[in-house]
Amino acid sequence: LSLSLNLSTGYTGLLNFGVIFFASIGAIGVGVLTAPSDVAGYGWPIIPALVFSMIVAAISGWLLALPTARLRGDYFAVITISLGEVVRILLSGEPLLKTGTTQGAIGVQRYPQPLEQWWFCGSGSKLDANGVELSPFACKNDEAIDSVARTIGEILNFGQPAPYYLLLAIIGLVCVGIVWRTLSMLYSSPWGRILRSIREDEDVAQHHGHDVMTHKASALAVSAAIAAFAGALFAWYLGSLQPSFMQPSRTTFLVWAAFVIGGAGNNRGMLVGAMIITLNEFVINRLVAAQSSSSQPLHELAVFIDTVFAWLVTEPTQAAFLMVIICVVGYLCKRNAIAESSAWMASVFLLMVWLLHQRSIDEVFRGDIQVNLAYVKVLIIGLIIVISLKFNEKGLLPEVPYRPDRPNGGDPS
């Protein structure tokens, strides 16, 4: 998704907040089209359903760009982010977007996963005593079936068949490599250079004879197709689709965080930003489990975080004093950014001294001050974004100027 956003925003300059809209076309399209017909699906094979969903997303991106690309960036952003909310609401109540569920339920379920049957059952159909084909779950639990998952599980000493997520991760890495190579070829082509010129100055690009609207529409169409591809991968990872998977805090915000942190206009930056966001998600999820179990490997870290949080809540004056010291040191060392940030943090803690009386603490925490790590996850991402914009506004890996090789080997004559 970050690679898709980098094409439409980093290279073309379109303020695209609707990346989840195009991703939902791929996710919902693949889910509904491939679900069996007896559970309100259409029974399509996976590859044709994926290609069809990507084409629909590309057409949607093209049609969206033509009437709206002339709008100012903020208006275009409002339109794109609203489309994602429209699809989320439709997924909550539209009967045509329900599969595998009972009457009154919502979501897309019971759609097949790519290569799951081969992963757990091996080549050929495996039948039970009644002549019915075994499901991947049944094959996984049948030790008599020799499958790829069981072989890899033995090699890696899992003690059980390798999980399907391992195969899905391999598929994802291959897909990222294909998308990376394709985008690199596009960016180094004349089309990619035209997109950069449009981003820098539309009037100059149009003065040189380039059709700005057509190039914007084509860029958004390609970006939408890539986002639909990513949405299909996300659907296979989740196993079922609910409206909650389209919440902006879980999708648009995280994709834009990877975009800002990594560095606009650089595919390597997109991967680095996405890895940071994913690592943060993984660590926080492990900390949530470690909070309530001393046997978890990160239990001491979770206890330390709770201790620091309790100190910040109960002793904001000390925290403010610490920020003042850091502010003074930053000012003396002529680190204005550190001094300014510390001063703002000190003012926040001083405000907490006035707001957080003992009664309010007792009412909220009921005697047990423990941090909600779900909020910490969002807080950490927000802090990373702020720090990145404050100290390195172009991201960790900013765009590298590209100049094509001269046909005559570099001789200006």
Burial of residue 46, with CB atoms counted within 10 A of its CB: 0-12 exposed, 13-18 middle, 19 or more buried: middle
Q: Are residues 180 and 80 in the same domain?
A: yes
Q: What are the structure tokens assigned to 21, written together?
A: 């809209």
| 170 — pLDDT class (breaks 50, 70, 90) | very high
Domain that holds residue 283: 249-397
Domain boundary among 207, 240, 273: 240
259 inside domain: yes
- Whether 381 is in a domain gets the answer yes
149-163 confidence digits (pLDDT tens) = 888 888 888 888 888
- Same-domain status, 83 and 29: yes
Residue 406 placed within a domain: no
> Is residue 133, in this structure, part of any structural domain at all?
yes
Number of domains in the chain: 3
Please check whether residues 135 and 253 belong to one and the same domain.
no
Residue at 161 is within a domain: no
pLDDT in tens, 363-389: 777 767 777 777 788 888 888 888 888
Instruction: Categorize the per-residue pLDDT at 45 as very low, low, confident or very high, splitting at 50, 70 and 90.
Output: very high
pLDDT digits (tens, 9 = 90+) for 109-152: 888 889 888 888 877 766 665 666 777 777 777 777 777 888 88
* Nearest residue to 86 (alpha-carbon basis) of 14, 41, 28, 32: 28
Q: Is residue 314 part of a domain?
A: yes
Closest C-alpha among 231, 212, 232 to residue 220: 212
Note the pTM of the prediction, 2 decimals: 0.85
Question: Do 298 and 389 lie in a common domain?
Answer: yes
Of 211, 240, 269, which residue sits at a domain end? Answer: 240
The CA-atom distances, in angstroms, between 91 and each of 31, 49, 83, 88, 194 are 12, 19, 12, 5, 38
Q: Is residue 404 part of a domain?
A: no
Using the predicted structure, report yes or no on whether residue 1 has a pLDDT greater than 90.
no
Query: Which of 114, 110, 231, 100 lies closest to 164, judged by CA?
Result: 114
Nearest Cα residue to 320 out of 350, 341, 344, 340: 350
174 and 233 housed in the same domain: yes
Q: Is residue 407 in a domain?
A: no
- In terms of domains, do 16 and 149 share one? no
Residues 263 and 301 in one domain: yes
* 210 and 260 together in one domain: no
Same domain for 326 and 360? yes
Name the residue among 156, 178, 227 with its Cα closest to residue 4.
227
- Whether 64 and 185 map to the same domain: the answer is yes
Residue after which a domain boundary falls, among 206, 240, 274: 240
Q: Is 198 exposed, middle or buried (0-12, 13-18, 19+ CB in 10 A)?
A: buried
Q: Residues 217, 351: one domain?
A: no
Together in a domain, 138 and 94 = no
